[in-house]
Chain A
């Protein structure tokens, strides 16, 4: 694995596919799975988490500079890719932290096997269908203008605003790739896997839902219903944050994650 710096991620080849990967800090391992808007090495949440954990934060296939394996089209595919990564890095006693689409990936991994996992954190998670067929659980973000999108996904939209004309080329390209990759995985069915709901009972490790209260892409009711489908999962709100609490309240977010990760293991230890 190439070494990451604060400004540049390292990289890792998994099954022939090279992805960017940030690795920072020491201690128990923590896999951070970013949301649909991508990740920057300078992300404050990563720095906060790395104070107490060995944070491994890959850039998902198709995002940033990460390659996309041929034929990868679903979050189910991505989950197998990351299970391979866990094997390759021989990660054990792992806390997995996912935000939004990253949480969906985490759930898809955990329903398959939690052998290498100790804990799961799901922040403003997508991935399941809660309402009836005519109720839109998740706002159609592809039908929104950028200002409208920021308005519903942030408590303070200015946090998410970017001036593409002054950003470095690589970041602008990353934004374009993030939009494309997200549509690849989440266009249809929209931000969920209809099969996932019936598998969530398999997640037998302590699970914490974190929820930015100002998220209007998803409702809190959606988050609570999702949480209720994972045995003994806990639900906690993060104030003054929208859909990306790691981005908008990085300190609070990291505190909550670390508090949960460092807690004594509960009765739902990984059975294997």
Chain B
């Protein structure tokens, strides 16, 4: 198993100064650039520590928000390409649905791949719903734009012996020839996220690494949909390295201190949903059918505990978050057991996207959190034996035949998508 250390680089000092929205329209007057600078340097120090501890690194970007100061992930990737030595650098995700110029994306990421000497993992997403008002890209038709942009980026990274032409539905270039060319052949690994079984199957067909967030004990149907799509296309089962899961982590020698850390890390979940209501679901982000259900007040439950209870991850207690597989929290033994148990439930999962810093966790707590995890949990996770991939995939195929009701889960998943901006 690989573990990627992730933080959203929050500007938490402004979290108590909002009037109903931490995103898009929270005025930047509330951002003190000196405080922001100190925080950026702190977060880069913590990622450098993660690198030294043998962890990999994940970055993302959001826009016009105090929840995440990284507004262009290329800056973070650039800094980390230079100051880290071994860590893989995963961007998850790069919101190409918000970007008007995929050529620029291909150029930026190719350069990062070269500077980092082939350590880049490229996670592409369409972007979260509430940032369409910020980017002003049309949320209607964003998936068509997403796939055209992705196809273009791949072609731009893999074409080395000709200058090519692209005149598509959305993007037009006549002389494409990206310098520098990518370090990793044929291109850096591609990742994406989804909360929809329909999209999960499609991602399986493409063979990309699929990540989910907050799906907890509702993750298995997504992974199984991916397995079916992968199997149908590639004639074999996807290994655990094709799956990733974002979990919050609070670990400490002492159980009570671990719970305190878990509570601070959960500040991410409690702040991430605070956004001006009309921005939460822009037109076209969900299908008209899903929007009709929302108008009727039908909101599908999002997160489940292992024993089937529905929780809201934005307001749940630490204990419920642990029970839902959203937060892994406790002593090193407990955290190891929680993660291994969750991976078993998933039928195998090879990439833990670890939110080892979030919310109000201090620098000292973060350093201890990462160090303890790397030294006492990670070695055991590496040694943990993943379930047999072929056997799990065969079960997924058999399960689908016995469950004609899979559309309901696809629809619920599409709604979940609104929260994570996956593909």
**Total number of A-B contacts with CB less than 8 angstroms?**
61
> Is A77 on the interface with B (CB-CB < 8 A)?
no
Q: In the complex, what residues of A have CB within 8 A of residue B169's CB? A: 71
A175 touches B295 (CB 8 A): yes
Contact A179 B283 (CB under 8 A): yes
**Given the contacts A73-B141, A173-B288, A188-B136, A142 and B296 also touching, CB distance less than 8 Å:** no
Q: Find B289's partner among A173, A179, A183, A187 (CB 8 Å cutoff).
A: A173
Q: A142-B282, A145-B277, A183-B283 are in contact. Are A176 and B295 (CB under 8 A)?
A: yes
Give the CA-CA distance A173 to B136 in the complex, in Å. 25
Cβ-based interface call for B83 (8 A): no
A3 at the interface (CB under 8 A from B): no
Binding site secondary structure of chain B: loop
Q: How far is the CB of A250 from chain B (nearest CB, A)?
A: 25
Tell me how many residues of B have a C-beta within 8 Å of chain A: 22
Q: A173-B288, A183-B139, A188-B137 are in contact. Are A142 and B283 (CB under 8 A)?
A: yes
Complex interface: chain A residues within 8 A of B140 (CB): 180, 183-184, 187
Tell me the bound Cα distance from A173 to B296 in angstroms: 10
Contact A183 B292 (CB under 8 A): no
A80 at the interface (CB under 8 A from B): no
Chain A residues, Cβ within 8 Å of B137: 188
Interface residues of A in 130-146 (CB under 8 A from B): 140, 142-145
B residues near A73, Cβ cutoff 8 Å: 141
Q: Which of A151-159, A164-172, A191-199, A237-245 contacts B (4 or more CB under 8 A)?
A: A164-172
Task: Check if A95 is an interface residue, CB within 8 A of chain B.
Answer: no
Interface set, chain B 1-23, CB cutoff 8 A to A: none
B278 near A144: Cβ-Cβ < 8 Å: yes
Look across to chain A and name the residue whose beta carbon is closest to the beta carbon of B276. A143
Given A73-B141, A165-B296, A187-B138; A177-B288 close (CB under 8 Å):
yes
Measured CB to CB, the residues of B under 8 A from A are 133, 136-141, 169, 276-279, 282-284, 288-289, 291-292, 295-297
Interface of A: prevailing SS:
helix
Least Cβ–Cβ distance between B370 and chain A, in angstroms: 40
Residues of A within 8 A of B133 (CB): 140, 142-143
A171 to B328, CA, bound (A): 45
| Contact A180:B283 (CB < 8 A) given known A144-B278, A187-B138, A187-B140 | yes
5 A-B pairs closest in CB distance? A183-B283, A176-B291, A164-B295, A184-B140, A176-B288
Most buried by B among A140, A144, A175, A183: A183
Please give, as numbers and ranges, the residues of chain A lying within 8 Å of B276 by CB-CB distance.
Answer: 143
Can you spell out 13 A-B residue pairs with CB atoms less than 8 angstroms apart? Answer: A71-B169, A73-B141, A143-B133, A164-B295, A165-B296, A165-B297, A172-B292, A177-B288, A180-B283, A183-B283, A184-B140, A188-B136, A188-B138
